[in-house]
Structure 1
Amino acid sequence: MSEANAGKALTVKVEGSSYARIPIRTRVVMPGDDLDAFIREYALDVVRDGDLLFVTEKIVAITQGRSYQLEEIHPRRLARFLSKYVTRTSYGIGLGMPETMEMALRECGTPRILLAAAVSAVTKLFGRSGDFYRVAGYKARSIDGPTAHTIPPYNTAVVLGPAKPTQVARHVQSLLGVRAEVAVVDINDVGGNILGSTLDSAGEKRLVAILKDNPLGQGHESTPLGIVRAV
């Protein structure tokens, strides 16, 4: 086990119920690692009946071979142009560098990215923000670029969103050997999304509320797995 993200509590109250958010500290997941083996190594002994195991989207994507070192990516001219107009934030670079924008063009298709850019350019004139990612979709939102706090070797890598996250959640559930739910999550300091899970829509909404303050972090904490447990 591990400590929570700095300044974050390990328990939270949502909809009148209290939940423990239990970090699971692991080694760094590397390309070529097997997700099944990783889950067996770190989660099987700690997940109980009634728990929810949440898995960060990044380790799912890495074990699917969806991580690329910057030198492997050769951005086209369009990617360099579009990336100049993306706002970089304190919690992630998003598509604000040519390499991440290039991967968005590949993942989402050039027409969709151009449409998202056009819509965003118009709506920003009226004070709206966020339309680029709303139009581009979750594949664009899920792309992680390198940041200062990213653990090596991913401080020089672009990681795409995971493929078929709902199927991954169901498969991981089958490995646990207890009655527990599973969710593949994308959580950061400004909120989060459930990319795939064994929950219904109400359960996913509740999970977002439980994790919205990013209790585990994405950096030195090295906690890509966690448990939500009613207390």
Structure 2
Amino acid sequence: MIESVFIGIIGSAIALVILILVALEAQYRQRPGNDLELTAGKWEFDLYEPQRYLLVGNLEFRNRTRRLEVMVPEIRAEVTLLTSGSLEGVTTTTHIIPRHTEATARSDHYWESRIVKVGGEDPIEISIDVQGQDLSDLKVAWVQIHYVTYGPQGRIPKTRHIVVPLKFPSTDDSKRWRPAANSDVLPIRTHLLTELDDPVEVVRRYVVPHAQAGDVVTIGESPLAIMQGRFIHPSEIHPGWLATRLCYLFLPTSSLATACGLQTLINIVGPGRVFVAFVAGAIGKLFGQPGFFYRVAGDQARLIDDVTGTLPPYDKFIVLGPDNAQGIVDQIQRETGLSAAIVDVNDLKAVKILAATSNLSINFLKQALITNPAGNADEQTPVVLIRPTESLLDRASVKPESAGTH
């Protein structure tokens, strides 16, 4: 009798301990931990002279946790310049200055550890002084801000990548109209588009000066995704069991043929969906019906560009497909009057229309873009203006292959 009571007490205690552990694990998984965001900020030139650029960015740390403070004990900035010429004799100096209300600038540029309050915003200023005999060949500054978050999840190093354009082409650089099926096309040269750009403003700046009533503007899906900040450095991806096993089974040219590329998709749609998609794809191939993986896994499976898939410095990143592509083209039409489409085009004459304004014919767009006038190399012409040679802008009977919303 005593033994059975003792066993019952032990069993209840064990059950209680298990319940407490489960509850602790559940609350841990629901908490954001060191959820501290560093914004891309606003960047301006304080000086833009032939032999000196002084670039200043105003950014903010934002504590997105509901009840926890997060500290920033360390921060430093590293700058990589991209140029069409040589960097010999070109120097860069960076300084990070706290701009919160209690901050006092230190002449030794020492970073004093900061607590970012719950829901708080802590501004910082980053200045980049670039000097050299001739800076005219510089294209962009790739700013890598390395910082440490310190809080309930421990000490976690992070990096914020911001690409700042340094060279801006004139609208006169885009003059070469080319004949296409039922239209003429004009590849539009822009600066290297970055997260600091807005798609509508890019159209206003580079396209509107060339456009007339009835013209159509198309934007590549990867440049749009980059403007939306939808790119991830592989160092932030931690491949799991599923990604490290399945990636070997994709074609070598696929962006899902690396553990980080496939894990990026898993992070978006979940491991269950990716596994089911893989099984569906394998069964489909057995019956001579390829493509089931991408149908089940969703649009992002086709749109992810792995490392080397885009222009430098984005060749170091995994670039996702764009978000809310339909909303973007509708906004462009509403604010500029131009019909618009978001497209994915390659040199193999594959044209995919992710989203288009309602007055456009999908067949017309495919015919106009089939020769890939934007190019797949370093042309830096992510936008194409299409001028129909006859009335083809009737309401499309075929919907875009993807709405671009994820």
Please, what TM-score do these two structures have when normalized by structure 1?
Answer: 0.84
Pair 1:31-2:195 in alignment:
yes
> How many residues get paired?
216
2:264 maps to 103
1:169 to 326, 329, 340: 329
* Amino acid across the alignment from 1:10: R
Change (3 A) 1:79 1:32: farther
1:199 maps to 358
How many angstroms does 1:2 deviate by? 5.0
* Amino acid across the alignment from 1:183: A
Contact 1:182 1:199 in 2 (8 A): no
SS of equivalent residue, structure 1 residue 216: coil
Contact 1:3 1:221 in 2 (8 A): no
Contact 2:373 2:384 in 1 (8 A): no
How many angstroms does 1:69 deviate by? 1.7
- d(CA) in 2 for partners of 1:44, 1:31: 21
1:11 maps to 179
Question: When you count helix as a share of all residues, which structure comes out higher?
Answer: 1
Indicate the RMSD between aligned Cα atoms, in angstroms. Answer: 2.2
After TM superposition, the runs of 4+ consecutive aligned structure 1 residues lying more than 6 A away are none
* Amino acid across the alignment from 2:357: T
How many angstroms does 1:3 deviate by? 8.9
Identity %: 33
2:75 maps to none
Contact 1:107 1:140 in 2 (8 A): no
Change (3 A) 1:189 1:135: farther
* Amino acid across the alignment from 1:68: I
Please, what TM-score do these two structures have when normalized by structure 2?
Answer: 0.50
1:41 to 171, 193, 205: 205
- d(CA) in 2 for partners of 1:73, 1:47: 42
Pair 1:136-2:297 in alignment:
yes
1:15-69 per-position Cα deviation (integer Å, ceiling 9, x unaligned): xxx2112100111112333333322221221221100100111122112111112
Flag the structure with larger Rg: 2
- d(CA) in 1 for partners of 2:295, 2:366: 18
1:1-231 pair list within 5 angstroms: 1=173, 10-13=178-181, 18-89=182-253, 93-147=254-308, 150-176=310-336, 178=337, 180-190=338-348, 191-200=350-359, 203-231=361-389
1:162-219 per-position Cα deviation (integer Å, ceiling 9, x unaligned): 111100101112232x4x210011112331211111135x712321232123222232
Structure 2: 5+ residue stretches without partners? 1-172, 390-406
SS of equivalent residue, structure 1 residue 206: helix
Contact 2:221 2:342 in 1 (8 A): yes
Change (3 A) 1:88 1:215: farther
- d(CA) in 1 for partners of 2:195, 2:234: 15
Q: Greater relative contact order (Cα 8 A, min sep 6): structure 1 or 2?
A: 1
